[in-house]
Chain A
């Protein structure tokens, strides 16, 4: 009897283990097409997706490019991704996607809310992924891997995420962008990336395209529709308003010498005064040199001034002018990337009236000040 009992217990345990083992279904990394970057373009009837997929195959070493791009067309993002799964023979996995690039054709001509919705609602997709739009088609950008000799997604994400706050561009991620298109005045921006060709230095492949990405313009959207494209100077002005962004440089020859100032820290103060918004920007700057800015800052005594007053005045004027131009553009094209509406919301609460208030009814008073520090 006890033997039968023992066998029974053994069989039950084995059955349970088998049941558990067969009931949990995962998919191994090799069964997945791990997408690290996506380009979305407009296709005739829907979207064209160019995915950069991790592609192993260099033995245990990982030298050179380890990704390939796959392009597929579908009625919607979901369908195109399914098509990618079919093409690669693996499950398309977005969990490691770092980047979304929107093609010019797409963002300038159609409302791409459903594209954004697809990603933001996807559970495995990381909301902090970088998002930008491209000069030309996203497919072209995604296929620049060989020109860069590295993964486009990694390079571009590094450019967007890591260089923000250092080289005076305001950058965006999916979450912030999505929220900007859903809330209040529903306007927001995306960085615009373009590829610049450089001279070929590879004597083995003289025909090979070589170059780098540039990210110095921004495009403004309202409810995921194209509104306005800001040029370099407006983008620079936009960076002035963000106190997290440092690294703005200004040059002036007003004092007779050509001097360049580098902004080390910044204080942006926005407040509502009556019906008017007051924005005070205080830039702490010093002469730009090739030495490490921080180290020099520590050793220079506080009262030492090097910047002539004329230079400061000239640059203040310049900064004020470009900032005011941006504010005027906001009024002209009716967009709000400086969060003016948000200031009112914080005071008055959300209301339909506020959300629909045009920028022309929300006057902004601006003051820019440069302090040597």
Chain B
């Protein structure tokens, strides 16, 4: 006799002590199975067991579904594969003897409470952040988008993790071809496990960029919604509080969540400051080195004398000295990330003050070099998404500046920009709206128009509705 789905299912899970099996009779014989750890006991008993135990005279599984099951989500599952998918997600399965199956949503809601995300704190503005639960995250989005146009496409990715992924967009704004393309890209992913949204980000980057982040990441639902309204697609991954947004522009990294809750003049000032500090962070150490090695004429005389005084006793060449400072700063940063927060602050103080000051006093590093290294290290954090990339680039540019002088710095700048300018994802040039120049989109790039005056959606993000009003 051919094995039916129930028998196959039981065979698959034989020996798993987490599985609970309960036989009930309500006119027909039913087998109720659930995972102890994934299901809420109360839900199982009140949505599934109670109605079944007290009932009589059910004729078939469809009748059970329509008359007896009290869960909000009850579906009749046709094949074994989808039954297993539901089962592992915390659904309770109700099998009849023929192998037909109902799955009832009895998932537990264990998880972190919605809180302010540590990576994007704001002075003013909403403090809610995404959590690890997909359902909660979609709720957070829906709470802000009470429209029929909000759409979510659900798929599962990962052979073993079978992670639920939701592709969210606003119908009528987001470009359908892009939604389809992203869906296809995600469906085509063949991998064992998706543990976080950043796994997907690698698959979504068509240029296979090794340096820069090509997919936007946000932990805040208000940001995600703002991006969706501009025509972007948000990808929510179960188990990750980081929501991906696509397409992504480089300039987005310069924009802070708080920008939209301040006056535009303050925002513009802040953004220019970020831009300048990043530029200075990457270029300052290299300039410091190459000016010392090659072009001392550029340094103002009094500063030159200070540098000479400071570096006379230093045993390293200017290049080695600066690289050392930068690497020490990177080590401090890396160690600080991994330290328990209780000791983090005190240790980072020790690191910064004791190490820096002692190194200068010990004659290992010059004070100007430490100052420039520290300034440059701190300046980078104004670009939160690409801090580490920039830190790496800074090392390379500093090396080139020390070796080749201004020639090296200039060439490194050109290569970086050339490379960035060539990047394009989903019809969106990475460096838009500056290269190519899109005047309309500069309303919210480095400069920002007051929100009421931003009446057009960005052209660099393909969309189906050009104006923001309607």
Asked if the two chains touch in their complex, CB atoms less than 8 Å apart, one says yes
Contacts from A to B (Cβ < 8 Å): 20-21, 24, 26-30, 32, 34, 36, 54, 56-62, 66, 93, 95-96, 98, 124, 126, 154
- B297, B302, B367 pick with most chain A CB within 10 angstroms: B297
Main SS class of interface, B: helix
Does B362 make an interface contact (CB < 8 A)?
no
Does B308 make an interface contact (CB < 8 A)?
yes
Does B191 make an interface contact (CB < 8 A)?
no
**A54 with B308: CB separation less than 8 A:** yes
Among the stretches B240-248, B311-319, B385-393, B441-449, the one at the interface with A is: B311-319
Does B109 make an interface contact (CB < 8 A)?
no
Can you give 14 A-B contacts (C-beta < 8 A)?
Answer: A24-B405, A28-B318, A29-B292, A29-B304, A29-B311, A34-B304, A34-B308, A56-B305, A60-B310, A60-B360, A62-B305, A62-B309, A96-B297, A96-B304
Count of CB-CB pairs between chains A and B under 8 Å: 63
Q: Which residue of A lies closest to B405 (CB)?
A: A26
CB distance from B418 to the nearest CB of A (A): 19
Q: Which residue of A lies closest to B302 (CB)?
A: A62
Please judge, given known A-B contacts A24-B404, A62-B302, whether A96 and B296 are in contact too, CB under 8 Å.
yes
A29 partner, pick from B308, B360, B403, beta carbons under 8 A: B308
Q: Which residue of A lies closest to B298 (CB)?
A: A95
Q: How many residues of B contact A (CB 8 A)?
A: 24
**A32 with B296: CB separation less than 8 A:** yes
**A24 with B403: CB separation less than 8 A:** yes
**B403 with A56: CB separation less than 8 A:** no
Please judge, given known A-B contacts A29-B292, A56-B312, A95-B296, whether A66 and B305 are in contact too, CB under 8 Å.
yes
Per the bound structure, the CA–CA distance linking A32 and B295 in Å amounts to 12
Per the bound structure, the CA–CA distance linking A36 and B305 in Å amounts to 11
Per the bound structure, the CA–CA distance linking A126 and B307 in Å amounts to 22
**B293 with A30: CB separation less than 8 A:** no
Residues of B within 8 A of A32 (CB): 296
Q: Which residue of B lies closest to A124 (CB)?
A: B297
Residues of B within 8 A of A36 (CB): 301
Does B306 make an interface contact (CB < 8 A)?
yes
**B309 with A56: CB separation less than 8 A:** yes
Residues of B within 8 A of A27 (CB): 293
Residues of B within 8 A of A58 (CB): 309
Residues of B within 8 A of A59 (CB): 309
**A93 with B305: CB separation less than 8 A:** no
Per the bound structure, the CA–CA distance linking A61 and B368 in Å amounts to 12
Per the bound structure, the CA–CA distance linking A223 and B312 in Å amounts to 44
Q: Which residue of A lies closest to B367 (CB)?
A: A60
Residues of B within 8 A of A60 (CB): 306, 309-310, 360, 366-367
Does B212 make an interface contact (CB < 8 A)?
no
**B305 with A54: CB separation less than 8 A:** yes
**A26 with B293: CB separation less than 8 A:** yes
**B292 with A28: CB separation less than 8 A:** yes
Does B294 make an interface contact (CB < 8 A)?
yes
